[in-house]
Amino acid sequence: METTEKKYIGILTSGGDASGMNAAIRAVTRSAIYNGFGVKGIYRGYEGLIAGEVRELTTQDVSGIICRGGTILKTARSEAFTTPEGRKKAYETLVREHISALIVIGGDGSLAGARALAEEYDVVCIGLPGTIDNDLYGTDSTIGYDTALNTIVQCVDKIRDTATSHDRIFFVEVMGRDAGFLAQNSAIASGAEAAIIPEDRTDADQLEQFISRGFRKTKNSSIVIVSESPKDGGAMHYAERVRKEYPGYEVRVSILGHLQRGGAPSAYDRILASRLGVGAIEALMEGQRNVMVGIHNDEVVYVPFVQAIKDDKPLDKSLIRVLNELSI
Ligand code: ATP
């Protein structure tokens, strides 16, 4: 790139939307402009990058969005980008648009995509963890997780009213097919009786454990939070098992689904997104590349893509003990 040419930073959101993505877009845009860069918004994630759906963003374009869920840049999943041909087209867009660095906000798949692009072409990529699942290694929280957690807790509080009034067992299914952060922590926060999470799925029959702890001996209703699981059927599967194996109990299922994703971001997510957005521009100015900007012990950290994607983020097993002890 010639020195006289304006340097552009590209920004896109990819994978599932998460509350706080807009706050991150705002932070990246404003921080980039503050530091003398131009910013180009890429619409519909990698699909839009391949198709060339790009528009320059001004500070005004990101006004009034810090409080909005979803993503003004829209998001998508892109089959084409998983192929070398697709990534070649994506790279051509970057060259044509004079974008010398790309900031990707998304989950582990999106960061894997950024890593693949950076390996094949000389593109500086920086990732921001944007997913409600909180499953990215190297960051204590991801943008959108806190908001989703609060939404789930509000829903479970409402379900509790019905569960206690009717003397029922409720299986409430939440998102997080590979990570139980949402299920485990929402169970603790809502005073649920148990959580069935993927981290424990292979070790033990979690339903049996819950039953052997004596559910309903001291309580007249129970709420069990279940991480979704396309493999074994999630909450439906466990409700069906109770009906068959422990007849006599009245069982209901509530699948929270997409309402977990949307809504105004929590203050925590807005602050996190703002800090990480500013951190992304700082990372670029420091010459970092192929890193995710995360938060650890309340400090902004850089985590190499390879680590953020490959390593499973461990769930603190003491959370399981906390829930078990408090649900007697
Ligand atoms: P969420 O956590 O919300 O599911 P995510 O970023 O993990 O978000 P994915 O659908 O896994 O969501 O990934 C988003 C997009 O990233 C995919 O549609 C694909 O275009 C790209 N992608 C994922 N994995 C790879 C990969 N290994 N190589 C290239 N591109 C990838």
- Report the nearest-CA residue for atom 9 of ligand 1: 109
Per-residue confidence in pLDDT tens, the chain, 328 aa: 444 577 899 999 999 999 999 999 999 999 999 999 999 999 999 999 999 999 999 999 999 999 999 999 999 999 999 999 999 999 999 999 999 999 999 999 999 999 999 999 999 999 999 999 999 999 999 999 999 999 999 999 999 988 888 778 899 999 998 899 999 999 999 999 889 998 876 556 777 777 766 555 555 678 999 999 888 889 999 999 988 888 878 899 999 999 999 999 999 999 999 999 999 999 999 999 999 999 999 999 999 999 999 878 888 889 989 998 888 7
- Report the nearest-CA residue for atom 2 of ligand 1: 107
- The verdict on the CB of residue 77 being under 6 Å from ligand 1 is yes
- The verdict on the CB of residue 210 being under 6 Å from ligand 1 is no
According to CATH, the superfamily of the domain at 145-261 is: Phosphofructokinase domain (3.40.50.460)
DSSP SS3 for 40: strand
- The verdict on the CB of residue 134 being under 6 Å from ligand 1 is no
Same topology between domain 8-144+265-310 and domain 145-261: yes
- CA dihedral defined by 123, 285, 133, 115, rounded to 10 degrees? 20
Per residue, what are the HEC states of 187-247? HHHHCCCEEECHHHHCCCCHHHHHHHCCCCCCCCCEEEEEECCCCCCHHHHHHHHHHHHCC
Predicted pLDDT of residue 1: 45
- Report the nearest-CA residue for atom 30 of ligand 1: 113
Which residue shows structure tokens 């409720």? Answer: 170
Cβ(129)–Cβ(143) below 8 Å: yes
Fold topology of 8-144+265-310: Rossmann fold (3.40.50)
Predicted pLDDT of residue 218: 54
Q: Kind of pairing, strands 8-13 and 38-42?
A: parallel
Nearest to 211 by CA among 234, 188, 186, 245: 245
**CA 308–ligand 1 middle distance (angstroms):** 13
Question: Alpha-carbon torsion 295, 301, 304, 307, what sign?
Answer: negative
- The verdict on the CB of residue 116 being under 6 Å from ligand 1 is yes
The residue to mutate among 14, 110, 125, 310, having the most atoms of ligand 1 within 8 angstroms of its beta carbon, is 110
Helix ranges (H only) for the chain are 21-34, 45-51, 84-96, 108-120, 145-166, 181-190, 198-201, 206-212, 234-245, 267-285, 305-310, 318-326
- Report the nearest-CA residue for atom 28 of ligand 1: 113
Q: Kind of pairing, strands 38-42 and 54-57?
A: antiparallel
Q: Which residues have CB under 8 Å from 210's CB, separation 6+?
A: 193, 194, 196, 224
- The verdict on the CB of residue 133 being under 6 Å from ligand 1 is yes
- The verdict on the CB of residue 113 being under 6 Å from ligand 1 is yes
- CA dihedral defined by 44, 48, 53, 56, rounded to 10 degrees? 60
The model's pTM is: 0.94
**CA 128–ligand 1 middle distance (angstroms):** 13
Q: Given 133, 135, 146, 200, which residue is catalytic?
A: 133
- The verdict on the CB of residue 131 being under 6 Å from ligand 1 is yes
Check if 133 is active-site: yes
Cβ(232)–Cβ(204) below 8 Å: no
CB neighbours (10 Å) of residue 324?
A: 15
Joined tokens for residue 100: 């010398």
Which residue shows structure tokens 């971001």? Answer: 265
User: If you compute the radius of gyration of the chain from its CA atoms, what whole number of angstroms results?
Assistant: 22
Domain spans in the chain, listed from the N-terminal domain onward: 8-144+265-310, 145-261
**CA 209–ligand 1 middle distance (angstroms):** 35
